[in-house]
């Protein structure tokens, strides 16, 4: 009887040992499925025109950084908007695995993923400082990845335009009546608010903006800020330049990566991509701010350019229409409402801190 018990215990222990060995071997095989010595050649598309300063250039710099940091193990061939696929089809291309990466901004996909707009910009919302705090430390990036997961896409913040200008108009805006019937290139939630104010929003890729304004296909356009607006020559097509950019107070630019492609990378290459994107997020924003300084002065010196501040009553009305628009969108889409609630909760905290820190400091400088 005693021998039988001992034999039984031995068999049980042997079974557990063999099971553990099998599990360890299985995990080892799983680890080996990612080849740490393999060279990866990826394609990356963008929504920007070829040679576009700061944004397209920043993406190409990101590609060079990845190649250097990985010692040539990850090579990313960058294609500007229209060179490989149409600019505004880049999200679909990454989702379907046609390409491994893209660069643009989340509000371009509002028709497909309405709640993605919170990870780009919100009218009268957070600036770059607040957006970075939310995304990197306040749970925003985790929410963003949840939103994109059904599309097999992983997002990373990679750049920010800062507070944009309000846009170029072919006439003065003295009241809300001057917006009614106006055709304006303005994307995202800002476009919805503009429509609620009586305007006609139009979505155009950057390469089409100047021609549309010059040919009066549109009456107004927002683009980015003084540097890019001047480089695109928008002052030649319209001469009323408005501020502030109520519609885009801190537009986040995004790197997107196909999920399957990402999973194929070994851990060190994943870390390189993640950290290179974070570094480029800072560089693009800093470069944007720097280039706008001198460009604004150059625009002020042009005799045909008239720089105006939007009237207070127009801004107040646009702000109230923004609240209405967000409430309406949330009422018809539970996922939009969920992300809106998270964004708004962080925004209120950020506003309270900004009031006592940056805003208070700027007020005493005047």
The C-alpha atoms of residue 300 and residue 233 are separated, in whole angstroms, by 14
Nearest residue to 313 via CA among 119, 189, 173: 173
Pairing between strand 240-243 and 306-309? parallel
* Structure tokens belonging to residue 340: 């809106």
**Chain centre distance of CA 83:** 21
What residues have CB less than 8 Å from 48, skipping those under 6 apart?
A: 55, 56, 59, 80, 81, 87, 103, 104, 206
Q: How confident is the model at residue 158 (pLDDT cuts 50, 70, 90)?
A: very high
Tens-digit pLDDT profile for residues 252-270:
999 999 999 999 999 999 9
What pLDDT was estimated at residue 365?
85
What pLDDT was estimated at residue 207?
75
pLDDT (mean) for 54-68: 98
What pLDDT was estimated at residue 33?
52
What pLDDT was estimated at residue 160?
98
Q: Does domain 167-247+305-332 have CATH number 3.40.50.620?
A: no
Q: What is the DSSP string of 149-207?
A: GGGTEEEEEEEE--SPP-EEESS---SGGGTTT-EEE--HHHHHHHHHTT-EEE---HH
Using CB atoms within 10 A of its CB, is residue 235 exposed (0-12), middle (13-18) or buried (19+)?
middle
The C-alpha atoms of residue 210 and residue 105 are separated, in whole angstroms, by 20
- Partners of 3 in the beta sheet? none
Comparing 40-162+250-289 with 167-247+305-332, is the CATH topology the same?
yes
- Partners of 74 in the beta sheet? 40
Torsion sign (Cα): 343, 127, 52, 278: negative
Tens-digit pLDDT profile for residues 229-249:
999 999 999 999 999 999 999
* Structure tokens belonging to residue 11: 């068999």
Percent of the chain clearing pLDDT 90 (strictly above): 87
What pLDDT was estimated at residue 31?
44
If you average pLDDT over every residue of the chain, what do you get? 91
Give the residue ranges of DSSP H helices in 48-123: 55-69, 90-95
* Structure tokens belonging to residue 163: 């507070």
Give the residue ranges of DSSP H helices in the chain: 2-32, 55-69, 90-95, 128-137, 140-148, 188-196, 206-214, 226-231, 259-264, 267-301, 312-332, 334-356, 358-365
pLDDT (mean) for 315-341: 97
**pLDDT over threshold 60, residue 8:** no
Record: fold of 40-162+250-289 = D-Maltodextrin-Binding Protein; domain 2 (3.40.190)
Using CB atoms within 10 A of its CB, is residue 35 exposed (0-12), middle (13-18) or buried (19+)?
exposed
Tens-digit pLDDT profile for residues 93-143:
999 999 999 999 999 999 999 999 999 999 999 999 999 999 999 999 999
Tens-digit pLDDT profile for residues 171-216:
999 999 999 999 999 988 999 999 999 999 998 877 789 999 999 9
DSSP H or E stretch at residue 255 = strand 252-258
- At 102 the three-state DSSP class reads strand
Pairing between strand 183-185 and 220-221? parallel
What pLDDT was estimated at residue 27?
41
The C-alpha atoms of residue 211 and residue 121 are separated, in whole angstroms, by 26
Domain ranges of the chain: 40-162+250-289, 167-247+305-332
């Amino acid at each position: 009887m005693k021998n039988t018990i001992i034999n039984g215990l031995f068999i049980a222990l042997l079974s557990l040992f063999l099971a553990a060995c099998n599990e360890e071997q299985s995990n080892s095989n799983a680890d080996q499925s990612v080849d740490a010595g393999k060279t990866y050649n990826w394609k990356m598309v963008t929504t920007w025109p070829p040679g576009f300063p700061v944004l397209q250039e920043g993406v190409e710099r990101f590609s060079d950084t990845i190649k250097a940091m990985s010692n040539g193990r990850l090579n990313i061939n960058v294609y500007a908007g229209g060179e490989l696929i149409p600019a505004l089809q880049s999200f679909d291309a990454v989702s379907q695995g046609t390409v491994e990466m893209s660069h643009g901004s989340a509000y371009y996909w509002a028709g497909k993923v309405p709640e993605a707009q919170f990870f780009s910009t919100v009218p009268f919302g957070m600036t770059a400082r607040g957006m970075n705090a939310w995304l990197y430390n306040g749970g925003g990036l985790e929410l963003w990845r949840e939103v994109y997961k059904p599309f097999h896409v992983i997002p990373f913040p990679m750049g920010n335009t800062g507070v944009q200008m309000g846009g170029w108009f072919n006439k003065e805006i003295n009241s809300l009546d001057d917006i009614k019937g106006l055709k304006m290139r303005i994307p995202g939630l800002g476009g919805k608010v503009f429509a609620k104010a009586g305007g006609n929003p139009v979505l155009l890729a950057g390469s089409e903006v100047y021609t549309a304004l010059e040919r009066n296909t549109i009456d107004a356009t927002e683009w980015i800020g003084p540097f890019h607006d001047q480089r695109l020559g928008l002052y030649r097509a319209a001469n009323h330049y408005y501020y502030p950019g109520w519609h885009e107070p801190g537009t986040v630019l995004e790197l997107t990566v196909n999920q399957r492609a990402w999973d194929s990378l070994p851990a060190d290459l994943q870390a390189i991509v993640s950290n290179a994107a974070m570094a480029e997020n800072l560089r693009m924003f800093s470069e944007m701010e720097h280039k706008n300084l001198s460009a604004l002065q150059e625009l002020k010196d042009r005799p045909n350019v008239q720089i105006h501040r939007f009237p207070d009553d127009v801004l107040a009305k646009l702000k109230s229409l923004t609240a209405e628009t967000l409430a309406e969108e949330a009422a018809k889409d539970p996922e939009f409402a969920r992300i809106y609630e998270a964004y708004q909760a962080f925004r209120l905290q950020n506003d309270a801190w900004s009031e006592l820190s940056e805003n208070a400091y700027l007020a005493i400088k005047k």
